[in-house]
């Protein structure tokens, strides 16, 4: 099936590690032009090299902290200068530090809020200014099944991801008249297969600090599909929602979690 993504201009934030890396490579295999926005330029450049080998029509890297609107605007300008426009935005950046809410501090709340929610606001705001006049575009934001189920040790993170779900539905309703589709993908526990798939700033740089092997085994056994998610599982859903194959789908929240949540 032709997904209609060849030569389309795609921005993937946090494209240097784990799920973001898999998303970049999935778009590359469709022949898209991909801008990797990341604070870890070295890791992003390594993924860019992989994307070129995978068949991307063009690849570029933008140093970008999504919590800084000026840096986000610079990334979008770099994309339009290099690729002639922006067809798809993937709001992928996310970060958390697992601990019970009573163990957290206001400084940690602020970081989680800015990285996970304000970054999405900055990128979506900038994307809409480009997409609305051109009367087309697709935005896919990465949320989490923690936003749908509630998950111990992820109180603030889950709250921000729930905010993304609601925000994207509103943006879909407000901007559908301009041909802009907005959807959300909610991963469950999704771990990289190899340490080389994550950069130094990734929350997965030390997997054992997130989940011990024993905890991951318990998670897998609790899921209907009996396995932990891999980045490619999420990337496949993202590419579909960004593609012409999903041309009549907007305002939806899709779980890609092995059946952790089943919400009708």
Q: Mean pLDDT of all residues in the chain?
A: 95
- pLDDT (mean) for 152-167: 97
Surface-to-core class of residue 194, CB atoms within 10 Å of its CB (0-12 exposed, 13-18 middle, 19+ buried): exposed
pLDDT of residue 32: 98
The CA-based angle 100-106-108, given to 5 degrees, is 65
pLDDT band at 194 (very low <50, low <70, confident <90, very high): confident
pLDDT of residue 213: 87
pTM, to two decimals: 0.94
Q: Is 260 tagged catalytic?
A: no
Q: What residues are paired with 181 via a beta bridge?
A: 138
pLDDT of residue 51: 98
DSSP three-state, residue 212: coil
pLDDT over 90 at 201, yes or no: no
pLDDT over 70 at 209, yes or no: no
- How far is CA 186 from each of CA 71, 121, 195, 252, 261, rounded to the nearest angstrom? 26, 18, 23, 11, 10
> Kind and range of the H or E element at 47?
helix 41-54
CB half-sphere exposure, 138, CA atoms < 13 A: 25
What domains, with CATH codes, occur in the chain? 9-256 (3.40.50.720)
- pLDDT (mean) for 61-88: 98
pLDDT of residue 211: 80
Given 27, 157, 240, 260, the catalytic residue = 157
Where is pLDDT greater, at 233 or 208? 233
Rounded Cα distance, 246 and 180, in Å: 12
pLDDT band at 111 (very low <50, low <70, confident <90, very high): very high
Q: Which two tokens stand for residue 138?
A: 């697709």
pLDDT of residue 86: 98
Non-local (6+) Cβ contacts of 257 within 8 A are 145, 186, 187, 188, 189, 223, 229
- pLDDT (mean) for 59-65: 98
């Amino acid at each position: 099936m032709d997904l209609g993504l060849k030569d389309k201009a795609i921005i993937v934030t946090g494209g240097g590690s784990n799920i973001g890396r898999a998303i970049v490579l999935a778009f590359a295999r469709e022949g898209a032009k991909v801008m990797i926005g990341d604070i870890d330029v070295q890791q992003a450049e390594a993924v860019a090299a992989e994307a070129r080998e995978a068949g991307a029509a063009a690849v570029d890297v933008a140093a970008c902290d999504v919590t800084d609107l000026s840096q986000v605007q610079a990334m979008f300008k770099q994309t339009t200068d290099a690729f002639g426009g922006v067809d798809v935005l993937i709001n992928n950046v996310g970060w958390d530090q697992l601990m019970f809410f009573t163990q957290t501090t206001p400084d940690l709340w602020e970081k989680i809020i800015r990285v996970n929610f304000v970054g999405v606001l900055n990128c979506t705001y900038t994307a809409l200014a480009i997409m609305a006049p051109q009367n087309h575009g697709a935005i896919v934001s990465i949320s989490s099944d923690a936003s749908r189920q509630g998950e111990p040790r992820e109180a603030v993170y889950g709250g921000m991801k729930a905010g993304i779900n609601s925000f994207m539905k509103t943006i879909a309703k407000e901007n559908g008249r301009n041909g802009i589709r907005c959807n959300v993908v909610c991963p469950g526990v999704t771990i990289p297969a190899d340490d080389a798939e994550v950069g130094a700033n990734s929350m997965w740089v030390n997997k054992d600090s997130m989940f011990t092997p024993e905890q991951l085994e318990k998670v897998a056994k609790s899921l209907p599909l009996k396995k932990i998610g891999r980045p490619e599982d999420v990337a496949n859903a993202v590419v579909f929602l960004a593609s012409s194959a999903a041309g009549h789908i907007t305002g939806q929240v899709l779980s890609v979690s092995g059946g952790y949540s089943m919400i009708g």
